[in-house]
Structure 1
Amino acid sequence: MQALLDAIASANFPTDAQRLFHGRGGLYPGCEAWTLDAFPPVWLVTKFGEASPEEVATLTTALQARQAQIAPPEKPLNAVLQTRVAGRSETTVLAGAVPERHVVTEDGARYLVNLTRGKNHGLFLDMTEGRRWVQAHAQGTKVLNLFAYTCSFSVAALRGGAKAVVNIDMAHPALATGQHNHQLNGITSGAQFLGHDLFSSWGKVTRLGPYDLVIADPPSHQKGSFVAAKDWPRLLRRLPDLLKPGGHALLCLNAPEIPEQFLHDHLAAQAPELVIEQRLPNPSAFADVSADRALKVLVARLPSLGEINHSP
């Protein structure tokens, strides 16, 4: 874990929530199980596996030393360790405390997070560039946000001038957090929150459209919700009917075992009308030895009527 300790020793605690060390990317041999995130005012260390008492003690000492170097005495260390073993997570407060109502920022937006319950904290830090792209391209659009979770994409879209966003997710508690996120950002209109199973709600989703932008960021494998190999084709074949001519789709695949070509192949088979325009970069902190193993975010577009009419 030396590379992690070196990262802690040189880290400057940021204002915005962000990743500070990404051992999962495979660029630091021996540290593949470790990540370090800043969710101000809390440091979050995650280990994908058990952490020994010696590792916990070493981490705590390193974090205390760095906090003493970069923060005034009246700002004590707040640090959390989460371990993930066999699909389960366990969270331990190493020092200090976690705010009861923990709000973090990203590019001026505010989001409610929870570091002590479950594997997911309310804001996926690897999707920062996706939220930036949505905000930059949202002006005047109608957006469909599928698998909306806590609706950070919706916040980004409405901050970017979207006319309306339809958020759909079958997890009602996540949508409730999403509503709080809109309130935190002073957004009082323009968003709908539908607590439905997408695959039994196509009729309603289609009637509310068509959309200028469809965002699909499903779980990579969640029984009862979405299984990539089976459900991506079902989702992609619906896109042409959901999009306005000239509209875009943001397709997010966060499954290390599934390569980017998977999306290309299924788009070609299920929605050949769509053209892939680009793959968005991931935040530099999430650098990976393999582009296929990292988060894959593709921007696809349904050609406009003019383009279709002028095609040879």
Structure 2
Amino acid sequence: MSALPMDLLSHLPGQLPKEECCRLFHGRGHCYPGFEGVTLDWLAPSLLLTQFSAMTEQQSAELQRQIAAWWSTVSEMPLSLVWQDRSRSPAQTVCLGASPPTPHWVLENGLAFELSLMQGQNHGLFLDMERGREWVRAHSAGKQVLNLFAYTCAFSVYAMAGGAREVVNLDMSRPALAQGKRNHQRNGFDRGVRYLGHDLFKTFGKLKKLAPFDLIVVDPPSFQQGSFIATKDYPRLLRRLPELLGPSGEALLCLNAPELSRAYLRDQVQACAPALEFVQQLENSVNFPDADPDRSLKVLHYRLSKPE
């Protein structure tokens, strides 16, 4: 990032959102030239700046100065700024100012989620998937839901909030599922939820015994060695998906790989699971503008066609 323009202040809101978490600035969508490597999130009471491209010490110091200046105009609280540098490997995370609370709970659409800003790259809630979670809440009443690659089970919390009969969460990471269980307990959803800490491709037999499902959410990592590589594993998953769905069952297929287009995912579904009919693509949040829709998050709604 050799020519970072120093005008972040002009892109920040004039007042701080109250309690609900949100993205304040999304440079990754290439809508703000020079800021392609910067995002800023409000995760009350902390801010999280994620840096994806290299910066000079001067650029980093100037961004910190501007954020501190903006903060002084929108809040009387001490500044808590977590800075995560993903331009290096492993990523480095430091806290500038007040530390995030422990435990750290945030709200999204009235639901509570536990975060861990200082531990690893992923803090517990992917904000760009908010529209997908809202859709699941609106379409879960009375349904048997399967949440694949559940991570900390945010989709499951929304499904239960929408009146799901039962949700089965599957993820290889048992610590993530344990955090997901705390998320459910915090929101008062202690019953009707299962947690399976297994490799998906070794668990289809168990899932078939729990099927049929009315709704399946598929939100995998795009590239995670030893877990899921989209170009190799999405087709494998799609071939098996229809056998887990009940009549007219629905699937929400997600893909967050900038190098893979919407057409790529639709073509894979057509080739590997032709029984799934495309219904719609969900719009992404306005807080995540992107100059190229094919590089942004893809969330596609499908329905199992009725046999003729």
CA 1:219–1:275 in structure 2 vs 1: closer, same or farther (change >3 Å)? Answer: same
Aligned partners of 1:184 and 1:232: how far apart in 2? Answer: 33
Name the residue aligned to 1:127: 129
Letter in 2 for 1:127: M
CA drift at 1:48: 0.5
Aligned partners of 1:9 and 1:223: how far apart in 2? Answer: 38
More moved, 48-57 vs 27-36:
48-57
More moved, 100-109 vs 90-99:
90-99
Contact 1:25–1:288, Cα closer than 8 Å, also in 2:
yes
CA 1:12–1:19 in structure 2 vs 1: closer, same or farther (change >3 Å)? Answer: same
Name the residue aligned to 1:22: 26
Name the residue aligned to 1:239: 241
Name the residue aligned to 2:215: 213
Name the residue aligned to 2:297: 295
**SS at 1:127 equivalent:** helix
**SS at 2:198 equivalent:** coil
Name the residue aligned to 2:155: 153
CA 1:179–1:26 in structure 2 vs 1: closer, same or farther (change >3 Å)? Answer: same
Name the residue aligned to 2:43: 39
Residues 130-279 of structure 1 correspond to what in structure 2 (within 5 A)? 130-279=132-281
TM-score (norm 2): 0.95
Letter in 1 for 2:236: R
Aligned partners of 2:275 and 2:12: how far apart in 1? Answer: 48
Name the residue aligned to 1:89: 91
Contact 1:80–1:92, Cα closer than 8 Å, also in 2:
yes
Runs of 4+ with >6 A deviation:
none
Contact 2:13–2:24, Cα closer than 8 Å, also in 1:
no
**SS at 1:88 equivalent:** coil
CA drift at 1:126: 0.2
Aligned partners of 1:9 and 1:113: how far apart in 2? Answer: 23
**SS at 1:189 equivalent:** coil
CA 1:56–1:95 in structure 2 vs 1: closer, same or farther (change >3 Å)? Answer: farther
CA drift at 1:86: 4.5
Aligned partners of 2:257 and 2:107: how far apart in 1? Answer: 26
Aligned partners of 1:11 and 1:24: how far apart in 2? Answer: 22
**SS at 1:284 equivalent:** coil
Aligned partners of 2:71 and 2:28: how far apart in 1? Answer: 24
Aligned partners of 1:9 and 1:260: how far apart in 2? Answer: 31
CA drift at 1:3: 4.1
Aligned partners of 1:165 and 1:9: how far apart in 2? Answer: 37
CA drift at 1:83: 0.6
Runs of 5+ unmatched residues, structure 1? none
CA drift at 1:87: 4.5
Aligned partners of 1:84 and 1:97: how far apart in 2? Answer: 20
CA drift at 1:9: 6.8
Name the residue aligned to 1:52: 56
Letter in 1 for 2:182: H
**SS at 1:62 equivalent:** helix
More moved, 152-161 vs 13-22:
13-22
CA drift at 1:61: 2.1
Letter in 1 for 2:142: G
Letter in 1 for 2:125: L
CA drift at 1:69: 1.4
Aligned partners of 1:135 and 1:186: how far apart in 2? Answer: 15
Letter in 2 for 1:200: K
Contact 2:222–2:230, Cα closer than 8 Å, also in 1:
yes
Aligned partners of 2:19 and 2:189: how far apart in 1? Answer: 22
Aligned partners of 2:68 and 2:17: how far apart in 1? Answer: 13
Name the residue aligned to 2:11: 7
CA drift at 1:89: 1.1
Aligned partners of 1:207 and 1:13: how far apart in 2? Answer: 45
Runs of 5+ unmatched residues, structure 2? none
**Would you say how many aligned residue pairs link Structure 1 and Structure 2?**
304
**SS at 1:145 equivalent:** strand
TM-score (norm 1): 0.94
Aligned partners of 1:9 and 1:263: how far apart in 2? Answer: 35
Name the residue aligned to 2:67: 63
Aligned partners of 1:198 and 1:204: how far apart in 2? Answer: 10
